[in-house]
Amino acid sequence: MITVAGCLLRLLTVLTTPYDVNAYDALEHRRYIEYVAEHYTIPQGSGGWEYHQSPLYYFVAGTGWGIAKAYGLSEQARIAMLQGFSLLLSIATFLLAVRLTQLLFRKKKERVALHACTALLAVLPAFVFFSHRLSNDIPFTTLSFLFLLQLTQWWQSQTQTRWLWLWVIVGIATLVRVTALSYIPILLLCLLAARLPRRYTWTMALQGIGIVLLLTGWLFVWRAMEPSSVRLLTFGNAFMNGALGLKTEWQSFLVFRPSAFLLFPFNHPFSDIAGRQYFWQFFFRSVFFGEFRFFALWQISTFILILGSLLLPCMLFGLIESIRQSARFFPIIATFFVLLAVLLLYRFLFPFSSNQDIRLMPLLFFPISCFLALGLQHTPDLLRPTVRLCFVLLCVLCVVFLVLPLL
């Protein structure tokens, strides 16, 4: 039932939400798709705001766009076609997450964790919003969850074939978004933690890196030959709107005030009113709402953030429990810490408010959900009813948040 509900929420989102609502640089992503449909070549990275992005998604979408246009489909029909593609990928991502959850929580006594993790991934608004957008975020997220599922399966079996497929997935994902290169340290950490013979470890590492170079090397050579590569070298951060800029101080990475959510429950990339200068506050809000503002849902959003804040100790408790059971959860732990470290470093090197959004590392949705579910499973008896009630209320309010605008 939870899985079906998660799929239906994504379907409802696509049917009722235009592609450029609750989306990031939607028109620029569409411009990239139309450019490929017309010219069928990789545009220069400096030629458009999103042209620095890896090209694979845009060639798939651009090919579909061009064929549909040739057959006389209207612009609206072409957009609906691409949104349908995004919907299928979003549902596939959710189903991969469900399968991964089942793989981790197999025991009968862990059914609470199994259902909690599945439920949270089913209803988190920021995760559901991927389903209607036209951008490389959607296939990148699908490949990311496929990567983590495959990594977990390799961790349990340590077969050579799975290991090689992992690197193929990383290579393809890099052709969708270069952020996938951050998965390489995760793989190497897991390889070291597997404690295989040293010679075998070196061979597997070199094989994997070789696969990624074979799949993606041409793209980096192509981009390096461009006359102007400043946006490529800065991962699209060159010429950013100065109003997004932040000062980097020690407080930026240490301050977290849940009381601020009572004053303003949403992120605001251009204003300090929401505490955008504080990484953890911006990141926490983005887990639920991205960087968008839903003023008609102000009260519900505030309650969602309050409940989420109350459940933070439970999530941290789940993280500690996962470390205690690291033989089973090591790939999830490595993914969490590596991607969080990369996101923090990215924010430090390129201090813009939009660089604190979980959208940049969507795979973090899974470790966060997994640790919270694990915390719910192992909560002390005295606190268990209260904590689980908070979680149920959180999930219910997330559903209300998604469905209420449709009524």
Q: What is the pLDDT of residues 212-239, one digit of tens each?
A: 999 999 888 887 777 665 555 555 555 5
Contact assessment for residue 156 and residue 176, using Cβ atoms and an 8 Å cutoff: no
Contact assessment for residue 116 and residue 391, using Cβ atoms and an 8 Å cutoff: yes
Q: In this predicted model, what pLDDT tens digit does every residue of 268-322 receive, in sequence order? A: 888 888 888 999 999 999 999 999 999 999 999 999 999 999 999 999 999 999 9
Res 286: pLDDT: 95
CA atoms within 13 A on the CB side of 300: 20
pLDDT reading at 240 higher than 70: no
* Cα first-last separation, the chain: 22
pLDDT reading at 361 higher than 80: yes
Q: Report which of 82, 400, 399, 52 is spatially closest to residue 220, judged by C-alpha positions.
A: 52
Other beta carbons within 10 angstroms of residue 324's beta carbon come to 12
Domain ranges of the chain: 1-135, 137-227, 256-407
Q: In this predicted model, what pLDDT tens digit does every residue of 34-72 receive, in sequence order? A: 999 998 888 887 766 788 888 999 999 999 999 999 998
Evaluate if pTM is beyond 0.85.
yes
Q: Report which of 208, 180, 205, 173 is spatially closest to residue 192, judged by C-alpha positions.
A: 205
* CB burial string 247-262: b at 16+ within 10 A, e below: eeeeebeeeeeeebbe
Looking at the chain, the whole-number percentage of residues with pLDDT higher than 70 is 96
Res 401: pLDDT: 96
Looking at the chain, the whole-number percentage of residues with pLDDT higher than 90 is 71
- Please compute the mean of the pLDDT values over residues 91-102 and round it to a whole number: 97
Res 407: pLDDT: 73
